[in-house]
Chain A
Amino acid sequence: MSQRLLDPQILAGISGLELVAKTVVDGFIAGLHRSPDFGFSQEFAEYRAYNEGDDLRHVDWNVFARTERCYLKRYRGETNTRLNLLIDASASMGYGSHKLRKIDYARFLAASLFYMAHHQRDAAGLIVFDDEVRNHLAPSSRHGQLLRLLHALERIELGVRTNFEKPFIHFQQYLFRPGIVAVISDFYEKPERILRTMEPLRFRGNELILFHVLDPMEIAPVFRKPVRLVDMESEESLDVSPEYVQGEYRAKIGAHIEELRSGAARSGLEYCLVDTSRPLDMALREFLVLREGRM
């Protein structure tokens, strides 16, 4: 049931990002067999003997009734974090070999992350970029922030081409306090250049997670006849043979992914390859692991 609800094909049929996010997150949590309040600061941790001066509100009176001793209930500390989500809105994100384009998948993923952050009382913010910063919503945990974020996601319009350097230098000024920075992109750039751009963020105390969103046709394309392909960003065209796609292309994209993964590991960044034909839970799990590490 949960897998079905997380299926991108099904999500594409749901109108409204909030509903999508709620469906995804609730389904995901149900799949974990845990309470939806998992990880919240109200979570019970242990009992402690009452000491003078302790707040009587935290005394467990049921225990007192049974044992005639005062014990206090202890909860996990309330450690809020800040989530900054960077979404690549270049033209290449408009590609989709099936019902869902990469940008749509990115929207769902972002919405789900925002939804989870909202329930954890985390401040969440959004930066949309292509070769410039197209939109910026500063992180906040205030009431109404979720709707603002979802609204901003829905308004994303695809730009032309990606340029990581320029917008990243630009939006470093917005990242005052450390937190989680999630970058959702197809990363059509040389890995060392991407990592070189990202590393400064890591040095400023941010946890970085790279969501590498790729369509299945980009990972393992299948062409039965020679085709002429047109680059969605540069609009250049190229005649491509099926043999090349089967052999060299797959090797090249595989090497690119591997280089990005290993480079990210070396730089202390989290890397998550997201296949748009697969459910969102992998990406969410990655996020939660990272989130727990910060508590």
Chain B
Amino acid sequence: MGFTAPWLLAGLAALSLPLWLHLLKRHKTPPEPFSSLMFFEQREQSSVRQHRLDFLLLLSLRLLLLVLLVLAFAGPYWKSGAPLARTERKLTVAAIDNSFSMRQGGRLEQAKREAAALLSRLGPESQGQVVAFAGQVQLMGEPTSDATALRAAVQAIRQEDTRGSFGDLVRALRSIAQSARTGLDVHVFSDFQKTAMPAGFAELSLPPGAVLTPHPVAEGRLPNWAVESVSAPHRLEQNQKGRVQAVIAGYGTPEAELKVSLLVRGAAVESKSVRVPESGRASVEFSSLTVPHGWSRAEVRIEKRDEFPEDDRFLFAVEHSDPMPVLFIHEPRDTRSPIYFRTALDAATQSAFTVQAATPIQLGGVEVGRYAFVVLSNVVSLPPDFEQKLRDYVEKGGAALVAVGAASAVRGKTPAFGVAVTESRYAGREGERFQAAEWLDQTHPSIRRANRWEGVRFYQVFRLEAPEARVLARVTDQTPVLMEKAEGDGKVILFASTFDNIANDFPLHASFVPFVEQTARYLAGLEESAGVLTAGAYYELRRTGGKGASVEVLDPGGRRMLDLRQAATATGVTLAQEGFYEVRRASGRNELLAVNADRRESDFEPIPQETLALWRNTGEGEAAAGQSAGAAPKPFEFGWHLLLLAFVAALAESILSGRHLSLRKKEAA
């Protein structure tokens, strides 16, 4: 018998408490003076004896309760002689590392060869299972004794560009051991990179009965240079030059002078030399990045090839496009709104938009799909065909900004999206009565840089009936003034006032410019573009599930990642390979994503032998001892049973003490 937390047994000292209390209680009874004891005799009656017995029983119960609780929390276990699983029935698991670093020098092929050789040596009674681990642990088949199936499973393992994690592997091994209900004979084929270790060593604890045998496919630390990171613009405007900054890192390398080049669409644009210190980092900057129209694939590359050239380049995508058109729809008599909106958008330094204003009657033949987003500024109604086109456009991933004013309120709902206008909150200018923005959702891109809308006065705010919308701003009387609503795959931002400097003085304030610019970037999807991603990252295609507009994703090899059904319903994809991914949306908006392998894979420093030995020792089977058939008896833990007993004891104690308490009350009465 043993305890998993024997130090908790110190809690037994608490036994002194009931002992002390009970003894104290006995001595506490004060003697009563009486006139004469002439007629008294000392005699102990049966009830006194019963009382004392009850008293001792209560004390015993309390002591028992404490003992049981302390023992239960100390984690008692009993090692029975019978083994849980017989070693001759152990499941052999071949875990093969297929992370990015295994690309080096054919490491993965070597690992697969060694694993296949091991599995072929298994006896006919033994079962084996193949596991590949990189970003995710992949079971390559069910446990089987079929040598052919095991060999096929090994061959099916493909190289990945994600990062390996021993913590994930051990979690998977625990799950396998639990379902197999037998001990595991685990053989790990890996380069045993130190960077694949989890943060806490406890995560490496092998399941009971598991024997770990490492099969390193490389020896020593391989010196390696890598482009660790690149900072580059994701979008360039016309005649704009971009600045690219790259960090070159050396892992276990001597000091060296490296030539680093910037390549756009496969052609070297600029080269520079950089001195990288011993096992250190250096940065290099290219200041004249120019790209042709459309998306360009670019990379920063180290020209000197080392033993692991796969990480000598860092990919990124840049888009060069004309300013994106924005369709601003307003009523003919409202001439102020387009001026204020256009001026604000043009004033923004990073503006990439051109505003095209139009009244509802000018919308005939307008192709809404070519616009970055559409603004409905206090519009009473739209032509029915355009209204339908606008709805389709938004549902397929487009965006719209709807400003609601008195004109919109006349119809009682906004055009196209049918948001009901239930009430007008009016405050007169003459009385200097106005409302201010009281609460703003600072996490939203539209508001993040808008300086809290300080000093903005709202004279007229409309209450909109959009219960499913996310409220982004409220005015003093808690009326939502800015909301975001999802429409299919697209989004609509509702502004419950106008841009004409009548219902509010927002256009006159400095905060109007960042608000318009950030809202425009958000609606145009420029905010969401990550540009550069790490292998294994999850890319969101749409916010809500269900059938929507089709999205096409092409992998670095140009193959479609999603079938037709997935293209219409998938909310996202995992980008596991290094390279460029293309995302094509139904709204006509395309995107190029650059995916690079996690640079922690570039450090080939192996796990120290001491750590590896410690890891092996975490298994109950104790492979380190070299016991070939050591039966590992599973300890029987009975802490829960003790807790159950403690509960029963607590129940009995409460009943007995309740009886005592009622007796005392009677005595007191």
Which residues of A are at the interface with B, using a C-beta cutoff of 8 A? 92-95, 102, 186, 188, 215, 218, 224-234, 236-244, 248-249, 252-253, 256
**Is B37 close to A, CB under 8 A?**
yes
Check A233 against B33 for contact (C-beta < 8 Å): no
Docked-complex contact A226 and B32, CB < 8 angstroms: no
Work out how many contacts link A and B, with CB atoms closer than 8 A.
Answer: 82
Hey, what's the 0/1 contact readout for B8-51 against A, CB within 8 Å counting as 1? Answer: 00000000000000000000010111111111111111111001
Taking CB as reference atom, which chain A residue is nearest B668?
Answer: A224
Which single member of A92, A224, A229, A241 contacts B45 (CB below 8 Å)?
A241
Nearest CB in chain B: distance from A247 CB, A: 9
Cβ of B333 < 8 Å from any Cβ of A? no
Report B42-80 CB contacts with A as 1/0, cut-off 8 Å. 111111100100000000000000000000000000000
How many angstroms between the C-alpha atoms of A76 and B42 in the bound complex?
59
A252 touching B39, Cβ below 8 Å:
yes
Residues in A with CB closer than 8 Å to B666 are 224
Write out the residue numbers on chain A whose beta carbons fall within 8 Å of the beta carbon of B667.
224-225
A243 to B37 CA separation, bound complex (whole angstroms): 16
CA gap between A231 and B39 in the complex, in Å: 11
- A244/B43 in contact, CB under 8 A: yes
Asked whether, in the complex, the Cβ of B31 is within 8 Å of the Cβ of A232, the reply is no
A227–B41 CB distance below 8 A: no
- In the complex, A97→B111 CA distance in Å? 97
Main secondary structure of the interface of B (DSSP, over half): loop
* Docked complex Cα distance between A208 and B45 (Å): 42
Contact yes or no, B34 A229, CB < 8 A: yes
Q: Which residue of B lies closest to A101 (CB)?
A: B35
Q: A238–B32 contact, CB under 8 A?
A: no
Chain B residues with CB under 8 Å of chain A are 29, 31-48, 51, 663, 666-667
| Contact in complex: A228, B31 (CB < 8 Å) | yes
Q: Does more than half of chain A's interface fall in helix, strand or loop, or is it mixed?
A: mixed
Q: How long is the Cα–Cα vector from A42 to B13 in the complex, in angstroms?
A: 88
Q: Which residue of chain A is the closest to B44 with respect to CB atoms?
A: A241
- Asked if B34 and A239 sit within 8 Å, CB to CB, the answer is no
A residues near B32, Cβ cutoff 8 Å:
227-230
Chain A residue numbers with a CB within 8 Å of B42 are 238-240
Can you show 27 pairs from A to B with CB atoms below 8 A apart?
Answer: A186-B36, A188-B36, A188-B38, A224-B666, A224-B667, A226-B45, A227-B29, A227-B31, A228-B31, A229-B31, A229-B33, A229-B34, A230-B32, A231-B34, A232-B33, A232-B35, A233-B35, A234-B37, A238-B40, A240-B40, A242-B45, A243-B46, A243-B47, A244-B41, A249-B39, A252-B39, A253-B39
A-side contacts of B43, CB under 8 Å: 240-241, 244
- Residues A230 and B41 in contact, CB atoms below 8 Å apart: no
Interface contact A232-B48, CB-CB below 8 Å = no
8 tightest A-B contacts by CB? A95-B35, A241-B45, A92-B35, A243-B45, A252-B39, A228-B31, A229-B34, A188-B36
A184 to chain B, nearest CB (A): 15
Report the bound CA distance from A236 to B34 in whole Å. Answer: 10
Query: CA A226 – CA B54 in complex, angstroms?
Result: 14
Complex contacts, A224 vs chain B, CB 8 Å: 666-667
A188 to B47, CA, bound (A): 30
On chain B, the residues within 8 Å of A253 by CB distance are 39
Residue contact B48 to A237, C-beta cutoff 8 Å: no
| Cβ contact of A241, chosen from B36, B37, B48, B663, cutoff 8 A | B48
What chain B residues lie within 8 Å of A95 (beta carbons)?
33-35
Shortest distance from the beta carbon of B77 to any chain A beta carbon, whole Å: 47
- State whether B44 touches A239 (Cβ < 8 A): yes
In the complex, what residues of A have CB within 8 A of residue B33's CB? 95, 229-230, 232
* Docked-complex contact A228 and B40, CB < 8 angstroms: no
Is the CB–CB distance between A231 and B47 below 8 Å? no
Q: Please name the residue on chain B nearest to A214 by beta carbon.
A: B35
CB-CB < 8 A to A233: which residues of B?
35-36
| Other A-B pairs, 20, CB within 8 Å; known A231-B36, A239-B44 | A95-B33, A102-B35, A186-B35, A188-B36, A225-B51, A226-B44, A227-B31, A227-B32, A230-B31, A230-B32, A233-B35, A239-B42, A240-B42, A241-B45, A241-B47, A243-B46, A243-B47, A248-B41, A249-B40, A256-B39
